[in-house]
Structure 1
């Protein structure tokens, strides 16, 4: 039995936006990680007003926000990448499915 029998006469759909988007995902992931890290470092340089406890509290709050932003970007990259891979696979060659005989196909069961 040939599991991967291609559908005769099928023409592949040319790749489009999904492949370009998939190729950009590593760059987006890197920039989405470095940007919050850079902003967190800049917050330590520029936020110096108030007592030491206030400065530490505000910087810690900002760091939590940047961690949340980085996790959001990672999640978005993974989600978009899954979508691109699914579309890329769907545009691939079509395969013929094996027939499956249903036992009640001649007389469907009515509820």
Structure 2
């Protein structure tokens, strides 16, 4: 039997929640990106009180917070995508890959 041929008797498991989640991830990523961006934009539309330096500091804080939330969200979405792909691959057929021959499997060598 050569490399990457299906193992005899292997079967594919039924798909589950991983495909549902994979289909929803682009929408989740888009919504999770837009919400913090809209919150940072809303800070510019609301009249802020204080001196010019205080207003700039508040806007800069809102921008930094929005960017950090977006980066965290993208990281979580990417991690979920990797996990879903791993589950899809693991539920697939079994394949023959690299066989590892053990020469002394029946009689272990003594050191």
| 1:63-92 residue CA offsets vs partner (Å, 9 max, x unmatched) | 101100000000000000000000001111
How many positions carry a matched residue from both structures? 111
* Gaps in structure 1 of 5+ consecutive residues: none
**Does residue 1:70 correspond to 2:70, yes or no?**
yes
**Residue number in structure 1 paired with 2:108:** 108
TM-score (norm. length: structure 1): 0.88
Map 1:2-41; keep pairs closer than 5 Å. 2-41=2-41
Instruction: Assess, with a 3 A threshold, how the Cα gap between structure 1 residues 77 and 56 changes in structure 2: closer, same or farther.
Output: same
Does the residue aligned with 2:83 lie in a helix, a strand or coil? helix
TM-score by length of 2: 0.88
Task: Tell me how large the CA RMSD over aligned residues is.
Answer: 1.8
Taking the aligned partners of 2:80 and 2:29, their CA distance within structure 1 comes to 11
Uncovered stretches (5+) of structure 2, i.e. residues with no partner: none
- Native 8 Å contact 1:47 1:55 kept in 2: no
